[in-house]
Structure 1
Amino acid sequence: MALQRTAPEGRRRRRAPRDPEGRMSLADHLREFRNRVIKAAIAICLGAVIGWIIYDPLVFRLTEPLRLSAAARHANVILAFQDITGAFSLKLQVAFFVGIILASPVWLWQIWAFIVPGLHKREKRTALAFIAAALPLFLLGCWGALYALPKAIEVLLEFTPDGASNILQADYYLTWVTRFILSFGLAFLLPVLLVALNVIHVLPAPVMLKGWRVAVVLIFTFSAMMTPTPDPWTMFALALPLTGLYFGAYGVARVLDARRARRQPDYSALADDEASPIGPQDL
């Protein structure tokens, strides 16, 4: 007669049931955070492998505005490496940049998945909707940076005196370009952040409308800091879309506030000494 082997009781590990309300202990939060970070890091590393493969055509594309601007001015622009390991370090850096871009669906999802346990069911559906919008906004911002990049380089090269040459360190130039692109992509996540604050009842729509002047000033200040050129063109290229996204986020927040107001029970008909009923929506 065959004997069935069973694991000892001490070795049996049962997964603890998940709290429907998303309540977790501090240790569970730390483990959850660690797992999310590991998954995002693996996705970025896999994307970096692709970045390593397409390094040459990508660098050619990123340096194209530099070559075109130099040719238009009949100037000489040279990309140089400071030491013998500079080319290798630069390839790693560009590959990591590509990994962040390609893995953006994964790490944006991991951010949402880490926040989800603290939200109610209705808020989870709303959070899923605006996190799904975060990916195209991030990619739109990166595309906008590529659109503004040639003008920014053209303006900066105009300060070179006639007859002089620009000898640029390759790692400095490509670091500047990648940060320029990432800053545009992250800046376009502004409406996602604003709607998230509204979902968790931190930033109501009337507050957003009341403070729109301050928000516009901060947007233009941020755009001036993130665009390294002295001309206003590149600043407006970032500030105007961000301003439109701010008011778009206000419109979404207003719709969410209206829905929450309709779900609130009306206690106006109760007498002053009459107790109001407490339902699940009040907890």
Structure 2
Amino acid sequence: MASPFRWFAERRERGKRRRGNPDGTMSLKDHLYELRHRLAMAMLIITIGAIFGWVWFAVKLGPIPSLGEIMTDPYCQPDLAPYRVQFPGEQGCRLLQTEPFESFMIRLQVGAAAGAVLLSPFWLYQFWAFITPGLYQKERKFARTFVSFAAILFAAGAVLAYWVVPQGLQVLISFGGDQFITALTGGKYVSFIITMLFIFGVSFELPLVVVMLNRAGVVSYELLAKWRRGLLMGLFVFAAIATPGTDPISMVALALALSLLFEMAIQLARIHDKRKAKQRVDEGWDSLDDDEAAPFNYTPSDDEGNDPGEKAQENASEPAKRVNYDDAT
């Protein structure tokens, strides 16, 4: 096993070689070492987050309730009290443990998930730092915007799921009337909550995918507007299939939220296509024949008197510099 001092020395040497290359090129061996380092750092951050989540599960953080209270709050709503089991001498609202290590695994699972979410900017940065040297500035800006909106939409979906879970539980456990009483086990309840949060969060990414496809020129506003009714119907069908509780409250909430976000995506596509059409008219693209060359206007404002032909030749050879692996040896 390699010494830690040797590992840090290798990291320092690779950092010097990388700083010495203005184009950011690295050998295949250095790329593998870099990938190993980034994965190790990401796993370390996730482990720290899991330890923090384990402690937070049973401890309040000032005005913030404990993670266990946050997870059981939908089940412990006053509206569900008539349907819950209340054992003699029991006070408060608690889940049922039917296996020796069930509570331990639930605490570990929930704590790890919460810690990974809270520290996601730090471990996601490790992957970003690994791939960003191979991207152009425009691609980096596009990726940052996409990731930022994706995180916001995922959080919004998870918040909506947490809000509708009590109503959905009330509908589900009230079907039996007075003939049934509810005592949910911890494992099944936590799995239900996490599944709801995950499905709502991922579903909220669908409108963002539509916007990205429109920006890439795959779908247009005319096509989206033509198929609007069919797509909205598909969103309602998707909500009915995706929600794990199969209760009408969760289905309708998810379907209405997706419909609203999808309509916003269509309007963003309309604005984008309208701007692109105006740009084509201003630049004279629409008046060109199919066999006529496009009018690329070149102004060598940043060349400082250099020959435009040399600058164009440098730009033409730039994509070849994006990935330049040396021999692995």
1:126: how far off?
4.2
Q: Does 1:67 align with 2:76?
A: yes
Judge conservation of contact 1:209–1:250 (CA < 8 Å) in 2. yes
Which amino acid in 2 is paired with 1:205? Y
The whole-number CA distance in structure 2 between the counterparts of 1:194 and 1:33 is 31
Task: Work out which of the residue numbers 138, 144, 153 in structure 2 matches 1:128.
Answer: 144
Task: Work out which of the residue numbers 39, 47, 50 in structure 1 matches 2:49.
Answer: 47
Tell me what 2:162 maps to: 146
The whole-number CA distance in structure 2 between the counterparts of 1:29 and 1:256 is 38
TM-score by length of 2: 0.66
Q: Which moved more, 1:186-195 or 1:98-107?
A: 98-107
The whole-number CA distance in structure 2 between the counterparts of 1:29 and 1:193 is 30
The whole-number CA distance in structure 1 between the counterparts of 2:127 and 2:273 is 24
1:99-155: CA deviation from partner (whole Å, max 9, x where unpaired): 243134456667777786787644543443343222222221111111101101111
1:99–1:150 distance in 2 versus 1, CA, 3 Å: same
Q: Does 1:179 align with 2:195?
A: yes
Q: Kindly report which structure 2 residues correspond to 1:244-255, keeping only aligned pairs within 5 A, or say none.
A: 244-255=260-271
The whole-number CA distance in structure 1 between the counterparts of 2:275 and 2:133 is 22
Judge conservation of contact 1:108–1:131 (CA < 8 Å) in 2. no
1:249: how far off?
1.6
1:17: how far off?
4.8
Q: Which moved more, 1:55-64 or 1:263-272?
A: 263-272
1:24–1:267 distance in 2 versus 1, CA, 3 Å: farther
The whole-number CA distance in structure 1 between the counterparts of 2:30 and 2:219 is 28
1:186–1:269 distance in 2 versus 1, CA, 3 Å: closer
1:202-223: CA deviation from partner (whole Å, max 9, x where unpaired): 3333332222223212221221
Tell me what 1:83 maps to: 99
1:191–1:164 distance in 2 versus 1, CA, 3 Å: closer
1:54: how far off?
1.4
Report the 3-state secondary structure (helix = DSSP H, G, I; strand = E; otherwise coil) of the residue aligned with 1:60.
helix
1:231–1:164 distance in 2 versus 1, CA, 3 Å: closer
1:70-126: CA deviation from partner (whole Å, max 9, x where unpaired): 754254166332322222111111012212431344566677777867876445434
1:175: how far off?
1.2
Q: Kindly report which structure 2 residues correspond to 1:87-126, keeping only aligned pairs within 5 A, or say none.
A: 87-106=103-122, 121-122=137-138, 124-126=140-142
Q: Which runs of 5+ in 2 are unaligned?
A: 1-12, 59-65, 87-93, 299-315, 317-329
Report the 3-state secondary structure (helix = DSSP H, G, I; strand = E; otherwise coil) of the residue aligned with 2:98.
coil
The whole-number CA distance in structure 1 between the counterparts of 2:239 and 2:162 is 16
Judge conservation of contact 1:216–1:243 (CA < 8 Å) in 2. yes
Q: Which runs of 5+ in 1 are unaligned?
A: 1-10
Q: Does 1:201 align with 2:217?
A: yes
Q: Which moved more, 1:263-272 or 1:199-208?
A: 263-272
Larger gyration radius, structure 1 or structure 2: 2
Judge conservation of contact 1:81–1:87 (CA < 8 Å) in 2. yes
Q: Which moved more, 1:35-44 or 1:192-201?
A: 35-44
Which amino acid in 2 is paired with 1:145? A
The whole-number CA distance in structure 2 between the counterparts of 1:85 and 1:187 is 33
The whole-number CA distance in structure 2 between the counterparts of 1:223 and 1:176 is 16
Judge conservation of contact 2:211–2:265 (CA < 8 Å) in 1. yes
1:229-280: CA deviation from partner (whole Å, max 9, x where unpaired): 4442221111111111111122223333344444444245557875444568
Tell me what 1:266 maps to: 284
Q: Which moved more, 1:149-158 or 1:110-119?
A: 110-119
Tell me what 1:14 maps to: 17
Judge conservation of contact 2:172–2:247 (CA < 8 Å) in 1. no
Q: Which moved more, 1:87-96 or 1:39-48?
A: 39-48
The whole-number CA distance in structure 2 between the counterparts of 1:221 and 1:191 is 16
1:199–1:235 distance in 2 versus 1, CA, 3 Å: same
Report the 3-state secondary structure (helix = DSSP H, G, I; strand = E; otherwise coil) of the residue aligned with 1:138.
helix
Judge conservation of contact 2:84–2:183 (CA < 8 Å) in 1. no
Which amino acid in 2 is paired with 1:179? T
Instruction: Give the total of aligned pairs.
Output: 270
Which amino acid in 1 is paired with 2:67? L
